[in-house]
Amino acid sequence: MDTPNNTMCFTFGSVADSILITIYTAVLIGGLIGITLMCFFLCRTNTRTITTTVVINLVAVHSIFLLTVPFRIAFYIQKKWHFGLNFCKLVSAMIHIHMYLSFVFYVTTLSIRYLSFFKHKDKIEFYRKLHAVVASGAVWTVVLVVIMPPFFLRYGKNSRSENGSCFHFQGEFENINVKALNYVSITTVLVVVCFLLALQIFIIVKVVKKLQGSAFAHQEFWAQLKSLFFILIMIVCFVPYHMFRIYYIQHTHRYNYYNEIFLSVTAFSCFDLLSFVLYTCCQKG
């Protein structure tokens, strides 16, 4: 007979699985629609601008991540993993890689937009399209050659998948170096987001004072709102997970389901492309 605590955990586990299935299904559908629309949008865009190059890389990051989402959905529906431990590690690692690469590309986009603002330039471009390709190639070479191999070699090294389970790598936090790395990443994300938000508010206030009228009628103001949009994505999708992570690191064996839910929220960043296209269409309309 189940104890009250075991019954509660089982019940919450079933609810959590339903929440995760709903979130990842929405992410898969919304992400695919966004990628498709953005590809059509990019065909008519100047691909030499640095921001456009970053968006192209975001499309690539989201596309790779979305390939792994159906396997997550299948696991939460069937409540059993059928694809082996190594592929489980790959699928589990991809959501973290997706989150941090997206974060890097958001920060890069904002940095370029801020540089344009303070240098009074409409946009910053590469001299040739080839330069954009080389820059993107350099980023992906670092990711694929320098970061990914050691990450996959170390990720889940001390964990085992038993009875068809997956995504239970909390045992890694017994390693002090893993804890330290997590605290560094948490601090970095939170500090950078707070700094960018403060800087964006400063810029918006400066623009409003400069325009001295109906700010909504000026393109410059809307450009700053677009930058604020990227920051809001990071605040909504990434900050809650990292805030919870501070507590979770010390209580890994009690709150794994909560961690999975907070982690799944980071995948909503896949909606950025869809939101960006819809925002651009509404602005032109």
Percent of the chain with pLDDT over 70: 78
In this structure, are residues 45 and 123 in contact, taking their beta carbons and an 8 Å threshold? Answer: no
pLDDT for the residue 102: 92
**Gap between the Cα atoms of 197 and 191, Å rounded:** 10
Indicate the residue type of 110: L
CATH of the domain at 153: 1.20.1070.10
Residue 276 located in a structural domain: yes
Tokens 């960043």 sit on residue = 269
Structure tokens at 77: 């529906």
| Max Cα distance, the chain (Å) | 71
**Gap between the Cα atoms of 224 and 226, Å rounded:** 5
Q: How many helices (H) and strands (E) does the chain have?
A: 10, 0
**Gap between the Cα atoms of 235 and 77, Å rounded:** 29
pLDDT for the residue 9: 46
Confidence tier at 125 by pLDDT (50, 70, 90): low
**Gap between the Cα atoms of 211 and 15, Å rounded:** 51
Confidence tier at 253 by pLDDT (50, 70, 90): confident
Average pLDDT over residues 62-86: 90
Structure tokens at 34: 């966004």
Helix axes 50-78, 272-284, angle to 10 degrees: 130
Lowest mean per-residue pLDDT among 69-73, 109-113, 126-130: 126-130
| 252-266 as b/e: b if 16+ CB within 10 A | beebbbebbbbbbbb
pLDDT in tens, 193-247: 999 999 999 998 888 888 776 766 677 777 788 888 889 999 999 999 999 999 8
Average pLDDT over residues 59-79: 93
**Gap between the Cα atoms of 207 and 228, Å rounded:** 13
Lowest mean per-residue pLDDT among 27-41, 52-66, 223-237, 249-263: 249-263
Average pLDDT over residues 275-281: 75
Per the structure, the count of domains in the chain is 1
Q: How far apart are the first and last CA of the chain?
A: 63
Tokens 């999708």 sit on residue = 237
Residue 105 located in a structural domain: yes
Residue of 90 and 70 predicted with greater confidence: 70
CA 139 to chain centre: 17
Residue 125 located in a structural domain: yes
Confidence tier at 42 by pLDDT (50, 70, 90): confident
- For residue 47, give the 3-state DSSP assignment: coil
Residue 182 located in a structural domain: yes
Residue of 103 and 86 predicted with greater confidence: 103
Range(s) of the domain holding residue 207 = 11-284
Indicate the residue type of 32: L
Q: Which residues contact 240 (CB under 8 A, 6 or more apart)?
A: 262, 265
Residue 5 located in a structural domain: no
pLDDT for the residue 235: 95
Residue 4 located in a structural domain: no
Residue of 84 and 183 predicted with greater confidence: 183
pLDDT for the residue 122: 62
pLDDT for the residue 273: 87
Q: In the predicted model, is pLDDT for residue 161 greater than 70?
A: no
